[in-house]
Amino acid sequence: MPKLIAIIGAGASGLVAAIVSARAGAKVKIFEKNSKIGKKILATGNGRCNVTNKSVKISNYHGLNPKFVNIAIDRFNTQVCRKFFSEIGVELTEGQNGRFYPASLQSSSVVKLLTYECERQNVEILLNQEVQSITKEGEKFALHVEGKKEYADSVLIATGGLAMPTLGASESGYEFAKSFGHTIIQTFASLVQLETKENFKSISGVKLQADVEIVQNREKIVFASGDVLFTSYGISGSAILDISRRVNKILQNSDEVIVNMDLMRQYSKEQLKNILLKRLKNSNAKSVALWLDGFVNSKLALFLSKDLRVKNADDLNTKDIVNLVYKLKNFKITAIGSRGFKSAEVTAGGVNTDEINPKTFESKLQKNLYFSGEVLDIDADCGGYNLHWAWASGYSAGTALV
Ligand SMILES: Cc1cc2nc3c(=O)[nH]c(=O)nc-3n(C[C@H](O)[C@H](O)[C@H](O)COP(=O)(O)OP(=O)(O)OC[C@H]3O[C@@H](n4cnc5c(N)ncnc54)[C@H](O)[C@@H]3O)c2cc1C
């Protein structure tokens, strides 16, 4: 008799685990509460699905014990990942910063071909089937689903995290884990937009390239470089998402975090000062805002001009220019919160990895119970690392499940 495996969640991790264990001869059923397979995968990478990255390292991962990822990402490295997807029909192509996408640039092709491979391996995918609880009945697990009981020899919890409830995110994976004695490391949103004390409504929509950092006790504790977008609630953009984990972590014990931004990273302070002093020679009675316009975004020019001592550029002196340079190179914002799980891409925290075997992903507390993907206390940087973790942990769990 083949082993009966129940997988909870037809997301990135659950689908890969299902394929791997079905290929090895197990009888696999996936229970999915959504009416669609891989709803979150469809939303990834702005609909293009950033599947993985050229360089996947432990340093891209976070949690209480990031080294937990080591065996899984070594076994399922970028090459293995590309081969896995190529075998099911998804060719990966390299984009910016080592990011890999399906050559179709459509996340739907990833979902369609994962689904096709599941069907080819006789994996049964049951949609609109929300698992309410899991209990033990003798050697078997009983899954309580929509008023019925479904039995399995082994169970994989691949229910994902709390990010974007509209895509299926729920607490249930943590509840299942707790019911078997597992501890949950406090969850919080990561890769998420930040709310600020300052009101940026007047520069809402201004997008630029900036260096972003948090300095504490004179030490730079986090740094990111890339897009910054001012919004009506605060600040967004890839550089902000990159630092959001650290900001939210600090906000657990503090009311605010000062984020320092270099809005003119292409120039040194000296170069910027010289450019502005040179522009001052042609100020020709312009208002400060108009004088700055043409050099910086016009909304930003108006915003910056409000802080200056004078209204007319002809009246600016060298000290004003030095102050302006300082402001552009050290633009400070006060983060007071984030947009939370409703807007976040990923959940930090989750099932304590000390209680999970890093080779097999089996619970150390309950035999034949497995966890993979975002439900675990592992989250990653932006760049394909979160999906890579979902595939890689699903691959290891799927291999061990049989
Ligand atoms: C907008 C957005 C964009 C992203 N872009 C990227 C990207 O480009 N690259 C990248 O690496 N990462 C990206 N991520 C993160 C990545 O999508 C996740 O880390 C990854 O999908 C996690 O995989 P998972 O299988 O653990 O969980 P999920 O993919 O979330 O799958 C979990 C599944 O379990 C189901 N489920 C939950 N509870 C139950 C239950 N009780 N019963 C039955 N079913 C249940 C859910 O409906 C869901 O389908 C993005 C995330 C978001 C929100």
Q: What is the pLDDT of residue 1?
A: 82
Q: What is the pLDDT of residue 367?
A: 98
Amino acid identity for residue 160 in this structure: G
Q: What is the pLDDT of residue 218?
A: 81
Question: Could you tell which of 15, 170, 245, 386 is best to mutate to test the pocket of ligand 1, judged by most ligand atoms within 8 Å of the CB?
Answer: 386
C-alpha to C-alpha distances, 327 to 38, 190, 191, 194, 211, nearest whole angstrom:
45, 28, 26, 20, 14
- pTM of structure: 0.95
The protein residue whose alpha carbon is closest to atom 52 in ligand 1 is: 345
Question: Ligand 1: which atom is nearest the Cα of residue 168?
Answer: 47
Ligand 1 center to 354 CA (angstroms) = 22
Ligand 1 center to 394 CA (angstroms) = 12
The protein residue whose alpha carbon is closest to atom 5 in ligand 1 is: 44
Q: What is the pLDDT of residue 165?
A: 94
DSSP string over 342-391: TT-SEEEEEE-GGGB-TTT-BBSSSTTEEE-GGGBS-EE-SSSHHHHHHH
Listed in order, the ranges of the chain carrying CATH 3.50.50.60 are 4-190+347-401
DSSP state of 2: P
Tell me which fold the domain 4-190+347-401 belongs to. FAD/NAD(P)-binding domain (3.50.50)
Residues with CB under 6 A from ligand 1: 8-14, 31-34, 39-41, 43-45, 49-50, 130-131, 158-160, 163-164, 168, 170, 172, 345-346, 373-374, 384-387, 390
The protein residue whose alpha carbon is closest to atom 19 in ligand 1 is: 386
To 10 degrees, what angle do helices 78-88 and 107-120 make?
70
Per residue of the chain (402 residues), give pLDDT as tens: 889 999 999 999 999 999 999 999 999 999 999 999 999 999 999 999 999 999 999 999 999 999 999 999 999 999 999 999 999 999 999 999 999 999 999 999 999 999 999 999 999 999 999 999 999 999 999 999 999 999 999 999 999 999 999 998 999 999 999 999 999 999 999 999 999 999 999 999 999 999 999 988 788 899 999 999 999 999 999 999 999 999 999 999 999 999 999 999 999 999 999 999 999 999 999 999 999 998 999 999 999 999 888 999 999 999 999 999 999 999 999 999 999 999 999 999 999 999 999 999 999 999 999 999 999 999 999 999 999 999 999 999 999 999
Question: Ligand 1: which atom is nearest the Cα of residue 129?
Answer: 43
